[in-house]
Structure 1
């Protein structure tokens, strides 16, 4: 008879990663399927998602303990996501097996960024300061919204401040010194 796992054991097992993504960059997540011919709905993890897909021959699709090289056949923007057809996925049932999967590229295949463009992971962990030099907190996440991305900044007291990632609020990004300067309006911090 099989021994039942404790809740603690189950949670520990879920934390374990099946793959080491060192040297790789996450660029998208499979969130659904579209149609009957194997198109995937993919949420971008990059502002330059389409440019990035054009620059690579193949991507690595990870789901659970599965790892598969996939080749892009077509990409179409669709609402706030992308519809992607991979050569290796040809019907809806194959596509459904990839839901929850992640698309990764090799770090050295990243496209060159233009002025004012950043990879999300470069911003995570940066310290955020107000224009008068007061430390506000650390960037913990970047939320994608239709109007603009939003920086989720965790203050030292554990509270969160949400700052729209637009020029009006984000004044300077200094990757070299690991800091972001922001301008806040009344009520933003409360």
Structure 2
């Protein structure tokens, strides 16, 4: 399995204790949904510098606020856990919980068309930037890259069948990009 078929679950912060437990930061909205994982894919660096996703069975998990303590099968000491420091954890896309209504995962709207309430169909979503201040949709429009804030006032809905994302773009947003 490769990372394109998966979603990022979190990152190993560091080994915890002397028995191979790992301190994990779960980068998800509701860590409790993942409290009973059977397995996880760990992105580990190989000797040649490349990275591979390696499956591991999860022996135990304990949610401790924003961090989680996880024990993976085969890790029994601090020395065995140390190479996992900084490793990213993945799960297959099929493991994502289904969303209701107008909720969407960022990876699923790539290639969708933006439809504005006033202007109609505009362009295609090429990327989503997850920034500390705000997440942004990247739309290709008239050979320009347009950044659209992901806010309830702007993003109004999604139609997965038509592959469209409905928006109410702020006045003047397109002009900023087209007149520069």
User: TM-score normalised to the size of structure 2?
Assistant: 0.68
- In the TM superposition, what whole-angstrom CA distance separates every residue of 1:56-101 from its partner, at most 9, and x where no partner exists? 32212122236131425123443xxxx2221125666555422443
What's 2:68 paired with?
Answer: 84
What's 1:62 paired with?
Answer: 43
What's 1:40 paired with?
Answer: 23
Report 1:93-112 matches (<5 A): 94-112=80-98
Inter-partner Cα distance in structure 2 for 1:20 and 1:66: 7
Q: What is the CA distance between 1:36 and its match in structure 2?
A: 4.8
Q: Does 1:20 align with 2:14?
A: no
Inter-partner Cα distance in structure 2 for 1:47 and 1:98: 23
Over the residues paired in the alignment, what is the CA RMSD in angstroms? 3.2
Secondary structure of the residue that 2:13 maps to in structure 1? strand
Higher strand residue share: 2
- In the TM superposition, what whole-angstrom CA distance separates every residue of 1:82-121 from its partner, at most 9, and x where no partner exists? x222112566655542244332224443323333332322
- Relative to structure 1, the CA distance from residue 91 to residue 135 in structure 2 (aligned partners, 3 Å threshold; closer, same or farther) is farther
Contact between 2:42 and 2:88, CA under 8 Å: does it hold in 1? yes
Equivalent pairs, count:
163
Q: Which of 151, 154, 168 pairs up with 1:183? A: 168
What's 2:151 paired with?
Answer: 166
- Relative to structure 1, the CA distance from residue 115 to residue 66 in structure 2 (aligned partners, 3 Å threshold; closer, same or farther) is closer
- In the TM superposition, what whole-angstrom CA distance separates every residue of 1:153-174 from its partner, at most 9, and x where no partner exists? 34342423131x2220001111
Q: Does 1:141 align with 2:122?
A: no
Q: Does 1:30 align with 2:16?
A: no
Where does the alignment leave 5 or more consecutive residues of structure 1 unmatched? 1-18
Q: Which moved more, 1:171-180 or 1:24-33?
A: 24-33
Secondary structure of the residue that 2:143 maps to in structure 1? coil
- In the TM superposition, what whole-angstrom CA distance separates every residue of 1:130-158 from its partner, at most 9, and x where no partner exists? 21204044141241546x54323343424
Secondary structure of the residue that 1:42 maps to in structure 2? strand
- Relative to structure 1, the CA distance from residue 97 to residue 166 in structure 2 (aligned partners, 3 Å threshold; closer, same or farther) is same
Contact between 1:129 and 1:137, CA under 8 Å: does it hold in 2? no
Contact between 1:27 and 1:49, CA under 8 Å: does it hold in 2? no
